[in-house]
Every structure is written in structure tokens, then in C-alpha cells.
Chains A and B, each alone.
Chain A
Amino acid sequence: MKQEITLKTESQAPNIMKPITEFLKLKLGKVNFLGGFKKTGITILSILLFIGLWHLGSKALYNKEADYKVEKALTEQGQAAADAERACIESGESGCQPNTLPSPTQVWASLQSLIADHYIIKEKKDAFATKMEATNQKLIAKGKAPIVYTGRASFIDTVLTSIKTVFAGFLLALLIAVPIGIIIGLSPTLKSAFNWFIQIFKPVSPVVWYLLVFMIVKTIYIGKSSDNAFVISFISVGLCAMWATLVNTAMGVASVDKDYINVAKVLKLGTFQKVFKVILPSSLPLIFTGLRITLSVAWMVLIAIELLAQSPGLGLFVWEEFQNGANDSNSKIIVAMFVIGIIGFLLDRLMLTVQQMVSFNKNEGI
């Protein structure tokens, strides 16, 4: 019986792996076109090996869990119950499936169901909007807030919420850290004034930042019905992630090549000109290195903060699926894990591209 289950999963495996490998072949083939196929081949091979090991691991865990269930039925309720349990597991009925690490096949199926679910929810939303259109127009005419769809958010909606939050947080970090970093970098006095502040607050955990922001925002929003989860989460993300940019900007501004400063002096540039035409351009590479770290830190802390703030993003999605404990919850969590990883990777690439655009070779440029 065990073997049948194994066979079933194995027969499905090539089908799900095919599109993945095709996709990777295409993508990696493009990226490493000049680098030769050897590198691409090794990457594909390692991906296949990873999926294979994952598959074997999940199969072993599945069997262990299934055996335990049957064993438990046998000792507690006797042979008949044990047979019934085994038959139930075999039939694939959702009520008695072992709850463990999902296999690649299950994760792939969950991804597809999540995408399908998105379209169902979208239809519902559209239907709701058309139904409420007339009422809403009346409400707006009266100066009242329109009624919006408040149903469950789809997975894709949560991804979009997360991306929106991370960018808002990143922007906040940029707006706070870059100007302060420049000021601190320019003035040794202010540097010593701010230094204790940076050193103490830099290592504070995202959870504590969330609590601090919650205390403040809650009071500011008191008596207002609007949802402040988004505000709380993006401010917390920004405050957690801004330190790398702050420190890097201050360092970049403070360590501008002395030759450039001399040029500025000899040309008699004013303070404003000196800062914007010499100091800032020369510290841009370091500032962008800081911003790149900030964006990846922001994406990392975002998940935990969304969970705490009940903001409808990926963090909350993962937590709710874990609490939910449905048959496909585990595989949905793994889907979210991959999506988080891939988006994080893409964000980093985005920043790397921007960073390379603004940087110049310092040593060659002198």
C-alpha cells in the first residue's frame, strides 16, 4: 500500500518538474549566454537534485506520519479501525491526510490553486463593485465614505500589499536616513551627538520597533475608524531597515577623497555647491550600497511585522495558514516561502542595477 502511494507521487513528479526546468533553462540560458552552458547545466542539475531530495524527504516524513496514524488506530480502536484509517489515507481523502512537510507536487498544486483562487476572488470583487456602484455614488455625493469589498484577500493581493509596504518603508528609510546621514557625515560635532543614538537603536529587534510604532500610531489614530495596520507596518519596516543607509551615508560623506575637497576649495565652491556637486556624487556608491542593504533588511523584517500588525500581506498569510491547519496549509506556506525568496532576490537585483548605474570607478577616475 505504501508503495502505491509512492508510485502515485513519482508518476506525477516529471509533469510538475518539466515546466520548472523549461523555465529555468530559458531564463538561465539567457543570463549566462556568454558564460557557456556548463554553468547553466550545473545550476539546473543542482535544482533538480534539490527537488529530488525534497521529494524523498517529504515522502519519508509522509510515510512516518501515516504509519503512526495507522498504528495509533490499531492500539486504540483495533484492527478494523486501523484498516479503515489506512484505506482513508490511501483514498486521498482530505480529512485523514498526514500533516507534514509537503512534497514538491503538492506545493505546485497549491500554487495553481492559489492563482485560481485569485481569479475567483477578483470576480467576486468586480461583482460587488458593480452591485454597489449606484449606492456608492450616492454616498460619495453625500460626502460619506463608499462601501468597499471587505472579503478575504487573495494570495496575489497579499503579495502586492507586501510589496507596497516594503516600498513605502524603504522610501521612509531613505527620506530619514540619507539627509541625516549627510548631516552627520559633514559635521563631526553632530556625529558625536548622534552616535550614541545610532549605536543603541541599531541593534533593536523588529518586534520591539513594531511595538514602539504601535504605541505612537495607535494614539495618533485614536477615534478614527480607518485601518492603521498598513501605516504601522510600513513605519516599523522603515525604522528597522534605515540604519544601514544611515551609517553608510555618514561614512561615505565623511570619507570623500581629500583631492576632491581640495578641488572644491580651489574652485571656491560654496557650501551648497560643494555638498551637491562634489561630496554627494562622490559618496553615491556608498549610499547606494547602504540602500541595497536597507531594502533587503526591509523585506526580511516585513514578514514578521505584517504578522504582528495584522496587515494583510505575506506575513499574515503565512501565519494564518499555519493557524488554519487545513490540508493544503503547509504547501501554501511553502509557496509563500518561495515567493518571498524570489521577490527578495528580484528586489536585490533591482537595487544592484541602480547601484551600478550610479557608481563610477573611484581609482580609475582620479
Chain B
Amino acid sequence: MAYLELKNVCKTYGTGKDSTEVLSNINLTIEEGEFVAIVGFTGSGKTTLVNLINGLIKPTSGEVLFKGEPVVDTSHERGVIFQNYSLLPWLTVGQNVAMAVTEAFPKESKSEIMERVKSFVEMVGLSHAINKRPKELSGGMRQRVAVARALAMKPEMIIMDEPLGALDALTRGNLQDEILNIWNQDKRTALLITNDVDEGIYMADRIIPLKPGPNATLGPEFKIEIDRPRDKTALNDNENFMKTRNEIIAYLMTIGDERKSVSEVEYVLPDLEPKSFVGSL
């Protein structure tokens, strides 16, 4: 039995004439302990797919099965790292993590919770910033807090929705390694949604492209046969890496071209003029 299984999942937004089918016929199987990456263009429905898996939204048709049970709601078993960090700005780093810990381990005493919070904040290297608020932190640090918060609930599966999308290349590389390290420690199942093919190849066991929406569907999977731990600097000379990378990019280019040819409708833009507010007080 697969660990996570999506069977013919469709998701439609809106009703009647205005409805758009964002995802159609998504079939996906993830085994326990696997690291799967889904790559796709912006706006192809990646976030919708993530929300279906973590239980924030329900599919219009089809089934999402987690350990054989249909997903009806969010669960502590599936930790989520959001694209825009989603830290609560009025809480400190420690409080943000503590909120998750308190919910996931309601029976623990205050000191046990504090211990847990401290250990997870330390794990992402932010012990010095535990009493700072998100706005005092850099983008990379904020994302680390989000990672700590997701992992502090001890989820069985980590779902990451473009977690590093808003970071600069250097911070990105560092965090990729950190996430891999954490994943390596207890080999939890992981699903990474990304728009960066290199990131996918570096981190995942399998890469599945998501064809651009509307009516987005999953393309053929690409297995990454590079031994772990992977060395980022040596990766560029790895034949396997180059081959897989070229294949994936070639595939994405073709479906990108298809999309262009499909959508050759000419849109008439409204004739708007910026309103001048100067002197209109």
C-alpha cells in the first residue's frame, strides 16, 4: 500500500460558467521515506495540489489517501512549510514554534514544551534569535523558523510549498543542505514543490513535472539516480545529473511551447489611465 496516494484527483474553482478546472486527473503515489519533488511553472496549480494533500481543501472529484485513509482535514502527521513562511508577526520565534508544539503535544508540561522549542530552534541555528519577532529577521532566517515550526510537530511527512522560492541563491543553497540533513536524520517522507529543476534534482529521489494549468496534470516521472549524500559542487560534472537535467528541461520546454500555442487568444486590455491624485485633496 502506498504511503500517499492521489487517485484521479480533480479540483475546480468556481461554479457554472465561471468555473475553471485547475487540476485534472492527478495520479500520484509516494512511498514511505521517499523524497519527491514536483516541478512546474508559476500558476500551474502547485499550491492547489499542496493544499489538497495537506487537507486545507477538498478535491472536487477523486481521492487523496494518506496511509490508506482519505484526507478530510489537516493533520499533525503532515507538516507544512508554506511558500511565504506565514509566521505570526506578533509572536517571537520561540512563541511561533511553541504554538505548534503545544498543539501537537497537548499532554506535555510547560518545561517539556520549552525544551522541545529550544531544541528545534537550535536545530535551525536560530538560538540567538529565539526572542526576536519575524520582522527583525532576514528572509532566510524566517524560512528557518517556518522549517522549525513544521518539524517541531514531529510530522511523519513534510510538505514543502516552494519553501525557498523567495530567497537568494546562496541562502537557498544553505537551506537546501539543512533541509536534507534534517530529512536524512529520520528519513521522513517529503514532498517538495518547486520551480527550480536543479533544486529538485539535488534534493529529491524522483521528479514529477506538473503540466501548466488550467487542467494541469502530472507528466512522466524522472528518477534521480545519484547517490546520497550529494555534493553540490561535483554535481555539475556528474553525467547522470546533466542527463536528467537536460531531459527534464527539454520536457518542460515542450509543454511550455504547447501551452503557448494553445493560448493564442488575443486579450483586449481595458483602456485605463492612471488616476492622478496630485492636488485632488
- Which of chain A's residues have a CB closer than 8 A to the CB of B9? none
- Which of chain B's residues have a CB closer than 8 A to the CB of A282? 88, 90
Annotate A340-366 by CB proximity to B: 1 below 8 A, 0 otherwise.
000000000000000000001110111
Q: Flag whether A278 is at the interface (Cβ < 8 A).
A: yes
- Which of chain B's residues have a CB closer than 8 A to the CB of A277? 88, 99
**B22-30, B32-40, B73-81, B263-271 - interface stretch:** B73-81
Q: Flag whether B93 is at the interface (Cβ < 8 A).
A: no
- Which residues of B are at the interface with A, using a C-beta cutoff of 8 A? 54, 56, 73-76, 79-80, 82, 84-91, 99-100, 103-104, 133-135, 153
- Which residues of A are at the interface with B, using a C-beta cutoff of 8 A? 259-260, 262-263, 265-269, 273, 277-278, 281-282, 284, 360-362, 364-366
- The one of A259, A266, A267, A360 that contacts B90, using a Cβ cutoff of 8 Å: A360
Taking a contact as CB atoms under 8 Å apart, the answer to whether B76 and A268 are in contact is yes
Name the distance in Å between B69's Cβ and chain A's nearest Cβ. Answer: 16
Name the distance in Å between A302's Cβ and chain B's nearest Cβ. Answer: 30
Instruction: Knowing A365-B87, A365-B133, A366-B89, say if A265 contacts B82 (CB, 8 Å).
Output: no
Taking a contact as CB atoms under 8 Å apart, the answer to whether A260 and B88 are in contact is yes
Cα-based distance from A277 to B134 in the complex (angstroms): 16
Name the distance in Å between B215's Cβ and chain A's nearest Cβ. Answer: 25
Taking a contact as CB atoms under 8 Å apart, the answer to whether B82 and A259 are in contact is yes
| B153 to chain A: closest residue by CB | A267
Cα-based distance from A161 to B99 in the complex (angstroms): 45
Cα-based distance from A360 to B134 in the complex (angstroms): 10
What are 27 A-B pairs with beta-carbon distances under 8 A? A260-B86, A260-B88, A262-B56, A262-B86, A263-B86, A265-B74, A266-B56, A266-B79, A266-B80, A268-B73, A268-B75, A268-B76, A277-B99, A281-B88, A282-B88, A282-B90, A360-B133, A364-B89, A364-B134, A364-B135, A365-B87, A365-B88, A365-B89, A365-B90, A365-B134, A365-B135, A366-B134
In the complex, given contacts A267-B103, A365-B87, A365-B90, what are 10 additional A-B residue pairs having Cβ atoms less than 8 angstroms apart?
A260-B86, A266-B56, A266-B79, A268-B73, A269-B99, A277-B88, A282-B90, A360-B89, A364-B134, A365-B135
Taking a contact as CB atoms under 8 Å apart, the answer to whether A281 and B74 are in contact is no
Taking a contact as CB atoms under 8 Å apart, the answer to whether B84 and A366 are in contact is yes
- The one of B73, B86, B99 that contacts A259, using a Cβ cutoff of 8 Å: B86
Cα-based distance from A263 to B56 in the complex (angstroms): 10
Name the distance in Å between B11's Cβ and chain A's nearest Cβ. Answer: 16
Name the distance in Å between B262's Cβ and chain A's nearest Cβ. Answer: 30
- Which of chain A's residues have a CB closer than 8 A to the CB of B84? 259, 366
Taking a contact as CB atoms under 8 Å apart, the answer to whether A269 and B74 are in contact is no
| B96 to chain A: closest residue by CB | A263
Cα-based distance from A262 to B87 in the complex (angstroms): 11
- Which of chain B's residues have a CB closer than 8 A to the CB of A268? 73-76, 103
- Which of chain B's residues have a CB closer than 8 A to the CB of A362? 89
Cα-based distance from A267 to B56 in the complex (angstroms): 11
Name the distance in Å between A290's Cβ and chain B's nearest Cβ. Answer: 18
